[in-house]
Copies of this chain bind each other. A is one copy, B any other.
Amino acid sequence: MRLVIARCSVDYAGRLTAHLPSAPRLILVKADGSVSVHADDRAYKPLNWMSPPCTLKEGEENGTAVWTVVNKSGEKLIITMEEVLHDSSHELGVDPGLIKDGVEAHLQELLADRMETLGEGWTLIRREYPTAIGPVDILGRDAEGTTVAIEIKRRGEIDGVEQLTRYLELLNRDPHLAPVKGVFAAQEIKPQARVLATDRGIDCVTLDYDALRGIEDDKLRLF
């Protein structure tokens, strides 16, 4: 990783056109060849950047360093450095990576494994059931054998209800599946989402992540 602090101006031409007037900034060159330009605020977002794969060419024009970063699709980032205030390189190696817990994918796994938390006798047909407009999180059956489409969110908002509604409309056109009822499952469901879901005959279920995981742990302990 190379850290450069320099007074620079930056031009980007690619998905849009953007320009940064001259000012002191941090320029970050990473081992994968990516380049980003940071101001002294905002933790997350660089002012400008080029994602890998891309190539960096360090040139010079009238005594000022000019870096040109180009990627596959022809996007271009040009950094003109009027004054370099710091320049250091550091060997970091490959990062072991982030371990996450509590995201939607995990909720889906847990719930698919414990369909009975939704109701006695409920069973799984499959996760990520494919449709023309995208995969349904979980397709299952209730105790009476009625098909159920389940949409899972960490936070249940109106968009999620709209999404499930579209799936239900489509699934109910399939005579092999119809009638299909809907369940909107989330760790937290916003009141507006609950109202809309209820209005459309969709059941709302609040998921207890810790409880689901606890059940899972209990299961593992049996083996």
Residues of A within 8 A of B (CB): 1, 3, 5, 15-21, 23-26, 28, 30-32, 34-36, 38-52, 85-86, 88, 90-103, 132-134, 158-159, 162, 192, 195-196
Q: Shortest distance in angstroms between A198's beta carbon and chain B's nearest beta carbon?
A: 13
Tell me how many chains of this kind the complex includes: 2
Q: Which residue of B lies closest to A9 (CB)?
A: B96
Contact call B85/A86, Cβ cutoff below 8 A: no
Extra contacts, 12 of them, besides A30-B42, A44-B51 (Cβ < 8 A), are: A16-B102, A17-B100, A21-B96, A21-B99, A23-B95, A34-B41, A40-B95, A41-B95, A44-B49, A133-B195, A133-B196, A162-B162
Q: Shortest distance in angstroms between A65's beta carbon and chain B's nearest beta carbon?
A: 18
Contacts of A25 in B (CB 8 A): 92, 95
CA A5 – CA B132 in complex, angstroms? 48
**Do A95 and B159 contact each other (CB < 8 Å), given the known contacts A100-B17, A103-B16?**
no
**Do A42 and B34 contact each other (CB < 8 Å), given the known contacts A98-B47, A101-B17?**
yes
Q: Shortest distance in angstroms between A134's beta carbon and chain B's nearest beta carbon?
A: 7
**Do A98 and B51 contact each other (CB < 8 Å), given the known contacts A23-B92, A26-B3, A38-B28?**
no
**Do A23 and B103 contact each other (CB < 8 Å), given the known contacts A1-B40, A43-B34, A52-B41?**
no
